[in-house]
Structure 1
Amino acid sequence: MEALKGTGVALVTPFNEDLSIDFDGLLKLLEHTAKGVDYYVVQGTTGESATTTSAEKAEILSFIKQNNKAKLPIVYGIGGNNTQSVLENIKSTDLEGVCAILSVSPYYNKPSQEGIYQHFKMIADVSPVPVILYNVPGRTQSNISANTTLRLAEHKNIVAIKEASGDLTQCMAISKDAPEDFLLISGDDLLTTPMMSFGAVGVISVLANAFPETFKRLTKAALSNDFEASSQATFELIDINPLMYAESNPVGVKHVLEVFGVCKNYVRMPLLPASDELKTKIQALL
């Protein structure tokens, strides 16, 4: 899965003032991010997948396929906490032109490690394209342990994990014992350089929506073992990164994109657009 090395951008979903999909903004976003990213991640958490309908998800994926001028690989988000529903969703989705699906660990239910294993095994058994695991305990309230990841890595159709646990020791354990062809991908923008120093192959990034060229320098340098240059690129993001999550993702990065003239900063309830205080802080850094 060479396509998954480097920078993947977890694309935001631009909205109009009436909260319909802003396809003009989405087109601008594709063109903007193509300046530096290696692949698109469509309808992940950053794309507000929790509040887009099934019909909208299909329309967004179709639009990106048709307007992918840079011919970048596409990863599509299909996950949830109802295993049977996820399986049906996979079967009913047109995955032609999609190189892999990104599937988040079940949230809210807080399943056991065996439950997590069986959930992903069933997904991998039915998916017509490779599966990327997504571990983000801060959102799901449960962690995919290193041992469970390594068990799942033995499945021929599970090719990678987006690790956003923030636990570098856990990430090291995965890198140490994973099969050679299993990919560790950073799910935390600021931890990308250290993770790549011990075996990660890149990042699926929020900030790459706004700063694709910075991430190009960051990941390309790390892949070339130039960790000093990679660190310098990371340092450019260290102050603005926490503001992206101060009022929940993607509120912060959507405001940056509006400042840059890429798309508007509308989000769907229960999220709200950036407060005046957050806007002021972001503007000062930009």
Structure 2
Amino acid sequence: MEQLRGSGVALVTPFKANESIDWNALEKLIDHVINGGIDYVVSLGTTGETPTLSAEEKLDIIKFTFEKVNKRIPVVVGIGDYNTRDVVKRLETCPLDEAIAVLSVAPYYSKPSQEGIFQHYKAIAQASPKPVILYNVPGRTGRNMTADTTLRLAHEVENIVAMKEASGDMVQCMQIIKDKPKDFLVISGDDALALPQLACGMDGVISVAANYFAADFSAMVKAALANNIPAARALHYKLHEAFDLMFAENNPAGIKAFLQHGGLMEQAFRLPVVPVSSGLNEKIKAYLDKNK
């Protein structure tokens, strides 16, 4: 699991104006992030607009990603839901031979108790043919997975190897880092907080911003992990305004605006996600023009 240290990127799913998947753009994006120095990619994360994808499209994206990455870097596959039985079934049928791990978001909408979250992940870990990465993102799921629950899973469930922590709660993050098993990885899920979290002892980042800013973001993570904080700080502040613009209205609408202005894909979505407002779009364009 040392391959999960460093910078990962949660790949967006490019669409065409007719809402079909833009396979050429996805191939271009994969090459862009690999050439930018990203250490691994995450296929079908939340940023990939997975709630709008059919089961068949998800399988096609997994296979396409494996083919185009072509073992140049590791691939993590996102498989999560609020229905535990459905996640278990998908783990048994998804083509995961070439995946290094599975990223599974905490159950959303149903707002289970901490015991329910524990049992959900225990069942997933027992069914998964690959190591499991927990994913806590209460801003999307409606329920925070506490440090105690994370640590209980880390210590008691063998096939759970890492946590993507996106609560934004630095005290909670530090508690997990302090009390985790030695070989359990804690990975940031907050681009804007990545530097302070790495300085506190996190092992890497699964980034949205790195879809576009692959080179600068991966360089920042490498510098921070090498304890070269001045170099990492300079890159963090170089990107700081971009983080604010990127998440001002919606993810992945923000990052897709950056990618469209960079010539990598269209700003195309499936409802209920829509493009960023015209005002924000102009601010993003102005930022990119200013920082060419």
- Structure (1/2) with the larger helix percentage: 2
Query: Can you give the 5+ residue segments of structure 1 that lack an aligned partner in the other structure?
Result: none
Separation (CA, whole Å) in 2 of partners of 1:11 and 1:205: 9
* Deviation for aligned residue 1:70: 6.3
Instruction: Tell me what 2:175 maps to.
Output: 173
1:77 is matched with which residue? 78
- Partners in 2 of 1:70 and 1:205 — Cα distance? 20
Q: 1:245 deviation in Å?
A: 2.0
Could you list the per-position Cα deviations for residues 61-94 of structure 1 after superposition, in whole angstroms to 9, with x for gaps in the alignment?
A: 1011111156110001000101111111111111
Does structure 1 residue 283 correspond to structure 2 residue 285? yes
Task: Give the CA RMSD over aligned residues.
Answer: 0.9
Alignment partners' CA distance in 2, 1:185 and 1:87 = 24
Mapping 1:29-108, distance limit 5 Å: 29-34=29-34, 35-69=36-70, 71-108=72-109
Secondary structure of the equivalent of 2:92? helix
Quote the offset at 1:60 in angstroms.
Answer: 0.6
Aligned-partner residue type, residue 7 of structure 2: T
TM-score of the aligned structures, taking structure 1 as reference length: 0.98
1:178-229 CA distance string (max 9 Å, x none): 0000000000011111111121011000000000001121111011111121
- What SS class does the counterpart of residue 237 from structure 1 fall into? helix
Shift of 1:275: 2.0
Give the TM-score of the pair, scaled to structure 2: 0.96
Counterparts of 2:195 and 2:258, CA distance in 1: 23
Shift of 1:163: 0.3
Q: Greater shift after overlay, 267-276 or 133-142?
A: 267-276
CA shift digits 1:216-264 (9 cap, x unpaired): 2111101111112111111111112122222211001101111111111
2:134 is aligned to 133
Distance in 2, Cα, partners of 1:139 & 1:274: 19
Task: After TM superposition, list the pairs within 5 Å mapping 1:1-286 onto structure 2.
Answer: 1-34=1-34, 35-69=36-70, 71-154=72-155, 155-286=157-288
Structure 1 stretches of 4+ with a deviation exceeding 4 A read: none
Cα contact 2:248–2:254 (8 A) shared by 1: yes
8 Å CA contact 2:250–2:276 kept in 1: the answer is no
Aligned length: 286
Instruction: Determine the C-alpha separation between the residues in 1 that align with 2:246 and 2:44.
Output: 18
* Separation (CA, whole Å) in 1 of partners of 2:281 and 2:59: 32
Separation in 2 of the partners of 1:202 and 1:254?
23
Aligned residues: percent identity? 51
Any stretches of 5+ residues in structure 2 without a counterpart?
none
Q: Deviations over 1:30-74 (max 9, x none)?
A: 111112210000011100011011100110110111111561100
- Further displaced range: 4-13 or 236-245: 236-245
Specify the SS of the correspondent of 2:241.
coil
Residues of 2 paired with 1:97 and 1:6: CA distance? 20
More deviation, 219-228/238-247:
238-247
Cα displacement (A) at 1:165: 0.2
